[in-house]
Amino acid sequence: MRIGELSERTGTSRRLLRYYEEQGLIVAARSPNGYRDYEEYNVDRVAQIRGLLDSGLPTRIIKQILPCLDKPRVIHFSDATPEMLATLQRELDRMSRRIDCMTRNRDAIAEYLDAVRERRSDAEAAPAS
């Protein structure tokens, strides 16, 4: 698929897709006329990249862990320096804290909605005076 279709299917701008390619996060073949040609798997790959970026990971770390998202997994240990492992541990800890916070917020919103809906239901069921 060409870059425009990938952009449309992923909701990601063409500019960002070219940036992901420059960073080595996605790969495109080139047709004889020079157009980028993306394989179907890039739709999911871009979604994974967007999710990792949204969670706060920089592209240099995303590039390292993208192989872990594939099946079969191909993990390259040669790049796993102590600094890289420490960075990944910090990011994992930060993500876990964020997930905990989001879970609490989700639960609070759900509780609020339940209470409002119950009150509305009670009010609608009550006879008019």
pLDDT in tens, 13-26: 999 999 999 999 99
CA–CA dist 30, 64 (Å, integer)? 24
67 cis-preceded (ω within 30 degrees of 0): no
Mean pLDDT for 35-44 is 93
pLDDT confidence bin for 77, thresholds 50/70/90: low
Taking phi over 0 as left and psi of -120 to 50 as alpha, with beta for the rest, 34 belongs to left
Residue 129 has pLDDT above 70, yes or no: no
Token pair 């890289």 is found at 84
